[in-house]
Amino acid sequence: MTIIVCIKQVPARESHLRPAGGWVEEADLSYEINEPDAFALEEGLRLKEQHGGETVVLSAGPARVVQTIREALAKGADRAIHLEHENPRAFSPLETARFMADAIAGEKPDLVLTGLQSDDLGYGHTGVILAELLGLPHATIVMQVEVRDGALRVKRELEGGWFQHVEMPLPALLTIQSGIGALRYATLMGIKKARTKEIRRVPLEAGPGDAGFQVERVSLPARSKATRLFDGSPQEAAAQLVEKLKFEARVL
Amino acid sequence: MSILAVLEQRAGAWNRVSFETLAAAQQLGEELGREVSAAVAGAGLENLASELGGHRLGRGYAVDHPLLENYTADGYTLALGQLIERIKPFLVLFPHTYQARDFAPKLATRSGRVLLSDAIGHRVENGGLVMVRQFFQGKINADLRFAGEPPYFASLQAGAYRADRLAPGSCPVETFRPELEAAQIRTRPLEVFREAETTVDLGSAERIVSVGRGIREADNLPMVQKLAEALGAELAASRPICDNGWLPMERQVGSSGQTVSPKLYLAVGISGAIQHLVGMKGSKTIVAINKDPEAPIFEVADYGIVGDLFQVVPALVEELEKRK
Ligand SMILES: Cc1cc2nc3c(=O)[nH]c(=O)nc-3n(C[C@H](O)[C@H](O)[C@H](O)COP(=O)(O)OP(=O)(O)OC[C@H]3O[C@@H](n4cnc5c(N)ncnc54)[C@H](O)[C@@H]3O)c2cc1C
Ligand SMILES: Nc1ncnc2c1ncn2[C@@H]1O[C@H](COP(=O)(O)O)[C@@H](O)[C@H]1O
């Protein structure tokens, strides 16, 4: 099987974000793999181990995403495609997906995996758009994948603790939910090997077209609720909190 | 050009968030001076169709076809695509449910548009529509404007609009029969099911101490467990803790876990992503312990301590024990 895993590099989870220049200040951010994409990669590697073939990672973004690509190669991906995309925000999600779809179509994959949602933009739709552009059946929010006789059976998460199995033919696209399997670590050997693995660079030249929507203004969310904060030393804060819980909220 | 609300049903029962979307459509219709219609897809929709007729709308559409009996992305996209083709709406609204996540982006793509997903509100400025959504897991707000020609597509976050604002009335309901063939539907959905019975009932717990990724390692959990014991509380967690296998899934609170409303919900090292908040914001008293004063959890917290949980939690345990 040829399995493509789409991995996005996003600002590290505990980044402090400040509105600036129509978006957020990016100068001091550090980056990491989007969390659900790490699970999509894990599933892609597991399926390859089971069924043979290769796992190819694809990431669209500026030069910095090569770091995330290398980490995926170190974990066991066979090769990578880097869609060079210097100013990701100049593109709408549909255009980004178009660039990704063009690169993916040429690979004739059996399976395309994405995360269910990115931690930065949080659209939750790039995978579904890709499936439509590639003409593939899809399932979203997937928690389990079985490949049997050239077909797929997946377990989808629904709301409120419900699940559903869905079957479909290959090739197909799945958006993977966090927690689908335990994440592996890169081994020293893996890190060494990654240095020689292929990263195919695809420059993106086309300019932005139909944007879908434009970000007009960015701000920090206004706090609508007045939270009573306790300060002082941890002991002082703890004492005040317990006091309030007992005598004001009366929940102890 | 109307505003079309796409409502959700399963096995003949409405998904209640649909009514928030319907209320939002009515509100937008009024503010923008546009007619409002609503559609529901399925098979054998007579009952739902007559209920749809009990709302203040220009028109209702029952998109009815035997192949829509069970939800599939292919079936819904084809069927609703044909309806959109015919009525050429200005704006199509969905509730941001798991089902809408599964097909609405596909439907929008088919119309050459981009879904503006998970919106939390809107404003009408000089007759133009500004949608509000969050980025970076609730840490940043943004105003967005649709670009290009309609139809526009947007999905609305659960809780963003109030279903109790829904205006009653009546409207004609048309049965729309899409052209569908079995071969066009490539996925085969099977029964929905739940995992084995859970052994903890967080729903009836009076007090809950919930732990998030701020705890860093499984080895640090006993510290929070101690706090739960000192408070006579059940231990719960955010999703990453359960994803890592540090606590069983049945202790997860949020959209894909349990919904709880205890007297006291104490969140330790939890950022407050919307998928977590929906599961606990109905709690009577909410306390957050987080080192980041800007963590979205403080948006719903009644009391808070901004600080290092590794210092605050032991101090709390000590304080509680001192008072026993
Ligand atoms: C479809 C879908 C369904 C989901 N369902 C759920 C669900 O049911 N439940 C759920 O919880 N999530 C769910 N999620 C995931 C959700 O989006 C968040 O990723 C998750 O809730 C984050 O968990 P967290 O707050 O523990 O971690 P993080 O977001 O990483 O936050 C950790 C917090 O700990 C704080 N912290 C770190 N160190 C310390 C310290 N020493 N002292 C004090 N504070 C500290 C940080 O400031 C931060 O705010 C879902 C996501 C999707 C897309
Ligand atoms: N620039 C990108 N490069 C690679 N994959 C991406 C990119 N943007 C989005 N994706 C994939 O699409 C998923 C959903 O992203 P989003 O629609 O932004 O929530 C992510 O989890 C990734 O798997």
Kindly list the averaged pLDDT for each block of 10 residues, start to end, along chain A of length 252. 98 93 92 98 98 98 96 98 85 89 96 97 97 98 95 94 95 97 95 97 75 90 90 96 97 94
How many structural domains compose chain B? 2
Same domain, B171 and B265: no
Contact B283, B262 (CB under 8 A): yes
- Domain membership flag for residue B195: no
Q: What CATH number does the domain containing B147 carry? A: 3.40.50.620
Using CB atoms and an 8 Å cut-off, which of residues 64-123 of chain B contact chain A?
73-74, 77, 97-98, 101-106, 109-110, 112-118
- The beta-carbon neighbor of A141 closest among B98, B137, B285 is B98
Q: What's the burial of A208, exposed, middle or buried (CB within 10 Å: 0-12/13-18/19+)?
A: exposed
- Domain membership flag for residue B235: yes
Same domain, B207 and B178: no
Q: Is A13 helix (H, G, I), strand (E, B) or coil?
A: coil
Mean pLDDT of B75-91: 98
Residue with tokens 């998928």: B275
Question: Cβ–Cβ contacts within 10 Å for residue A200, how many?
Answer: 13
- Nearest ligand for residue B311 CA: 1
Same domain, B51 and B179: yes
Q: Is B257 on the interface with A (CB under 8 A)?
A: yes
- Domain membership flag for residue B192: no
Same domain, B43 and B169: yes
Residue nearest to atom 6 of ligand 2 (CA): A8
Contact B156, B116 (CB under 8 A): no
Please, which residues have CB within 8 angstroms of residue B172's CB and are 6 or more apart in sequence?
Answer: B53, B59, B60
Q: What is the DSSP letter of A85?
A: -
Same domain, B118 and B232: no
SS (H, E, C) chain B: CCEEEEECEECCEECCHHHHHHHHHHHHHHHHCCCEEEEEEECCCHHHHHHHCCECCCEEEEEECHHHCCCCHHHHHHHHHHHHHHHCCCEEEEECCHHHHHHHHHHHHHCCCCEEEEEEEEEEECCEEEEEEEEHHHCEEEEEEECCCCCEEEEECCCCCCHHHCCECCCCEEEECCCCCHHHCCCEEEEEEECCCCCCCHHHCCEEEEECHHHCCHHHHHHHHHHHHHHCCEEEECHHHHHCCCCCHHHEECCCCECCCCCEEEEECCCCCHHHHCCCCCCCEEEEEECCCCCHHHHCCCEEEECCHHHHHHHHHHHHHHCC
- Domain membership flag for residue B160: yes
What is d(CA B156, CA B20) in angstroms, rounded to the nearest whole number? 8
Task: Provide the whole-model pTM.
Answer: 0.96
- Domain membership flag for residue B193: no
Identify the helix (H) or strand (E) that includes residue A4: strand A2-6
Contact A19, B140 (CB under 8 A): yes
Q: What CATH number does the domain containing B215 carry? A: 3.40.50.1220
- Domain membership flag for residue B243: yes
Question: Cβ–Cβ contacts within 10 Å for residue A95, how many?
Answer: 20
What is d(CA B136, CA B182) in angstroms, rounded to the nearest whole number? 40
What is d(CA B241, CA B228) in angstroms, rounded to the nearest whole number? 16
- Domain membership flag for residue B134: yes
Same domain, B148 and B28: yes
Question: Cβ–Cβ contacts within 10 Å for residue B191, how many?
Answer: 8
Same domain, B174 and B266: no
A96 or B21, higher pLDDT: B21
Question: Cβ–Cβ contacts within 10 Å for residue A218, how many?
Answer: 19
Decide: B240 in ligand 1 pocket, CB within 6 A. yes
φ and ψ at B175, to 5 degrees? Answer: -85, 120
Q: What is the DSSP letter of A62?
A: S
Please, which residues have CB within 8 angstroms of residue A219's CB and are 6 or more apart in sequence?
Answer: A19, B140, B141, B142
Same domain, B129 and B233: no
pLDDT band at B2 (very low <50, low <70, confident <90, very high): very high
| Residue B152 to chain A, least CA–CA distance (Å) | 8
- Domain membership flag for residue B122: yes
Q: What's the burial of B192, exposed, middle or buried (CB within 10 Å: 0-12/13-18/19+)?
A: middle
Q: Which residues pair with A219 in a beta bridge?
A: B141
Shortest CA distance from B249: residue in chain A: A161
What is d(CA B142, CA B20) in angstroms, rounded to the nearest whole number? 21
What is d(CA A53, CA A117) in angstroms, rounded to the nearest whole number? 26
CA B277 to centroid of ligand 1, rounded, Å = 10
* Tokens representing residue B302 in the block: 């009644």
| Residue A33 to chain B, least CA–CA distance (Å) | 14
What is d(CA A174, CA B81) in angstroms, rounded to the nearest whole number? 22
Contact A113, A152 (CB under 8 A): no
Same domain, B32 and B166: yes
Cβ within 8 Å, pair A220-B306: no
Decide: B295 in ligand 1 pocket, CB within 6 A. yes
What is d(CA B276, CA A111) in angstroms, rounded to the nearest whole number? 31
| A-interface mutation test, from B116, B263, B316, B324, most A Cβ less than 10 A away | B316
Domain that holds residue B91: 3-184
Q: How far lies B291's CA from each of A162, A231, B107, in Å? A: 34, 12, 42
Bridge-based pairing of strands A213-219 and B140-146 is antiparallel
Decide: B75 in ligand 1 pocket, CB within 6 A. no
Give residue-wise pLDDT tens across range B184-218. Answer: 999 999 999 988 767 788 989 999 999 999 999 99
CA A94 to centroid of ligand 2, rounded, Å = 11
Alpha-carbon dihedral A144, A146, A151, A154, rounded to 10 degrees: -20
Same domain, B13 and B139: yes
| Residue B55 to chain A, least CA–CA distance (Å) | 27
Same domain, B179 and B211: no
At residue B70, does pLDDT exceed 70?
yes
| pLDDT score for A208 | 59
Instruction: Tell which of B154, B184, B214 closes a domain.
Output: B184
Bridge-based pairing of strands A162-169 and B285-290 is unpaired
Cβ within 8 Å, pair A238-B298: no
* Tokens representing residue A208 in the block: 């932005």
* Tokens representing residue A130 in the block: 């890709």
Residue with tokens 């739709």: A125
Q: Is B231 on the interface with A (CB under 8 A)?
A: yes
Same domain, B32 and B167: yes
Q: What is the mean pLDDT of chain B?
A: 96
Q: What is the DSSP string of A105-148?
A: HTT--SEEEEES--SSS----HHHHHHHHHT--EEEEEEEEEEE
Question: Cβ–Cβ contacts within 10 Å for residue A1, how many?
Answer: 18
What is d(CA A27, CA A18) in angstroms, rounded to the nearest whole number? 11
Q: Is B324 on the interface with A (CB under 8 A)?
A: no
